[in-house]
Amino acid sequence: MNSIANKIIETRKIKGLSQEELAEQSKISLRTLQRIENNENNPRGKTLSLICNTLDLNLEGLLSTNQSQPFKITTKFFDFFFLAVANLILVALLGFMTIDSQANFNSRFAMVLLSILIPLFIVNFTPNMSSTERLLKFGFGSLLYFIATLSIAGFVTGFLSGLFLCMLINLSMLYFGSQLIHKK
């Protein structure tokens, strides 16, 4: 049975509705609902929208659960690869612009600005992600770089160069940025 039919059946039962009641409230025929729940039909367009509205289901979320398993595995692999590369680029940028012995005030100031703006950009495009999940996905590179800097260059170099400040700002914005952007 497909996941759309499962979700409709599960939600209908949670709400205590019979098939007849759901069909009547959704303004669709009982036979159509029975075919959907028995996996004889895949609901399309208006029918699915009417059922989702009656059951208070998110249409996009319901459709996204209907993906096949092989695509989920490859998607997760590419998501992980992208996150790893994005984290490496961000921390390399942090290190290059701050810890370099030739770094001047302008490059350090630019890095502070980027430490604010890049995480806010990430927060803006991940509104459904929790703060903790966002911090773990996009901030693990900063944590690893912090540990590497401590062991290689030492605390004094990381602190005086402004690298640790930029990392702190970066991680804070990843965690608390949604409260700044989505404040109502």
For 133-158, how does the pLDDT look when each residue is reduced to its tens digit (9 = 90+)?
888 888 888 888 888 888 888 888 88
Q: Are 43 and 26 in contact (CB under 8 A)?
A: no
Tens of pLDDT along 72-113? 677 777 777 777 787 778 777 777 777 765 678 887 788 888
